[in-house]
Amino acid sequence: MKRFNPYSWPPWLRQIRIVCVQIIIPITIFQAVRTIFLPTTFDVILLAIFILLAIAFRLEWI
């Protein structure tokens, strides 16, 4: 399996990734609180997507 090198990406793409890493956790926490108070199917699915994205960014899969 080839490990990616983020330094080979264009600067604008690296900047987008950095911003996403910084904002994914607060958005996930907000969505979790929203899902607790007003649970809908869409909210639960969106929370699952945010959790998976946060894990992927944390483990550097993306």
What tokens appear for 14 in the block? Answer: 């690296």
Asked whether residue 62 carries a pLDDT value surpassing 90, the answer given is no
Q: Where are the domains of the chain?
A: 10-58
Phi, psi of 2 (to 5 degrees): -85, 125
Question: Mind listing the pLDDT tens digit for each residue in 18-27?
Answer: 898 899 999 9
* pLDDT tens string 8-58: 878 888 898 889 889 999 999 999 999 999 999 999 999 999 999 999 988
The single residue listed with the structure tokens 């956790």 is 25
How far, in Å, CA of 18 to CA of 33, rounded? Answer: 24
d(CA 31, CA 54): 13
